Chain A
Amino acid sequence: GAVVSQHPSWVICKSGTSVKIECRSLDFQATTMFWYRQFPKQSLMLMATSNEGSKATYEQGVEKDKFLINHASLTLSTLTVTSAHPEDSSFYICSAPPPSGIEQYFGPGTRLTVT
């Protein structure tokens, strides 16, 4: 079936630095991808919708200048956490619906730890 990958699977960065997370659809093209954040023992929280060829749509309360999203191609979306702080430490997950699909495919997630 359709596969969505994320890179890296885990990353540790220092406070104040930026980190980029990639989300790729491996065998289908995705004009739309979604980014979620999940804190320990909590549910997934939608952060933004990534749109190929246009600006991302952010959910209320998500800082668009802090979480930069770029849908570079039909198979790649990136999330850059800028000036990361310890409270940004979380599990970041992306998803993508295939063009003729019914469900969405989720990536395996990226665990970010900011020290």
Chain B
Amino acid sequence: DAKTTQPPSMDCAEGRAANLPCNHSTISGNEYVYWYRQIHSQGPQYIIHGLKNNETNEMASLIITEDRKSSTLILPHATLRDTAVYYCIVSPTTSGTYKYIFGTGTRLKVLA
């Protein structure tokens, strides 16, 4: 079973920040939080990952609560091309060799 829960869907106005929450209350100390997104009929695309500190890259920011039981992915200025299903995954290594168990994800729709 997936170790994460996310809201099934969200809408966001174009140009505004999209904040996507994820609960991972059973996360272990050695597990990282990964975010991927899947645009229709394509393979998932890596966005960002983190352990306990907040992270930022060119695509997004990741905010992890101090107790690590939840996190939020922030797309600072959403565009129509950000419309996708966003998956939050916890995995015990950063080597990438551990299998991913996908939850249901959040279907983000960016509105013009």
A residues touching B (Cβ–Cβ < 8 Å)? 4, 6, 31-32, 34, 36, 43-46, 49, 91, 93, 95, 97-98, 101-109, 111
Contacts and interface: CB of A to CB of B under 8 A. Distances in A.
Interface residues on B, range: 20 to 34
Contacts of A98: 96
Contacts of B45: 106
Given A46-B100, A97-B96, A97-B97, A106 B43 contact: yes
- Provide the main secondary structure of the chain B interface: loop
Interface of B: 2, 34, 36, 38, 41-46, 49, 87, 94-97, 99-105
Contacts of B41: 91, 109, 111
Contact of A101 (B38, B96, B105): B96
Contacts of B87: 43-44
A103 B42 contact: no
